[in-house]
Amino acid sequence: MTNLPSYALDTLMQETRRLAATYRRQTGQALPVSSELARYDVGSLFALHAPKPPIAQVDFIGQGQWDGQNILVKSRVLFKHTRRSPQIGNIDMNAAWDMLFLVLYNNEYEPYEIWGVSKAVLSEHLHQKYTIGSIKNIGSLIWHCAPC
């Protein structure tokens, strides 16, 4: 059995971004890696940690301004020809999360904005389809890349 090299997680995630962007340019298809990148980026940017033991549909336990809140992370990569406001996907309102973080990526899989919205606010808008636009309308910008 050969010994595989060990890489720092930062290096692996940067390489993942590069490979996913290259794959998209060459094939026109997206690699489904944005969820893992989003969890990595949110954890790194806000120094958050996954719950121990794991909690279904909860990615992090909040600290600081989100102290003690269960955080769910969603993501979308916005390519140049993406629909105006793509849907976010399924959000289980019965799960144990308190705060939703939406990480938006450019076509190079680099984060440029993170939006946050509480379950309480989101539940007031249950009649809507959850799109990037609707999250931006009811949520708050909690991080942005400056300059991007």
For the cut 60, the answer to whether the pLDDT of residue 1 exceeds it is no
| CATH number, span 9-144 | 3.40.210
Pairing of strands 140-144, 111-118: antiparallel
**Residue 110 — pLDDT band, cuts 50, 70, 90?**
very high
Which residue shows structure tokens 């600081």?
A: 64
pLDDT by residue (tens digit) across 10-46?
A: 999 999 999 999 999 999 999 999 999 999 999 999 9
Per-residue confidence band for 88, with pLDDT thresholds at 50, 70 and 90: confident
> Tokens 């120094």 — which residue?
47
pTM for this entry: 0.91
Mean pLDDT of the chain: 91
DSSP string, 39-51: HHHHHHHHT-B--
* Cβ proximity of 128 and 134 under 8 Å: yes
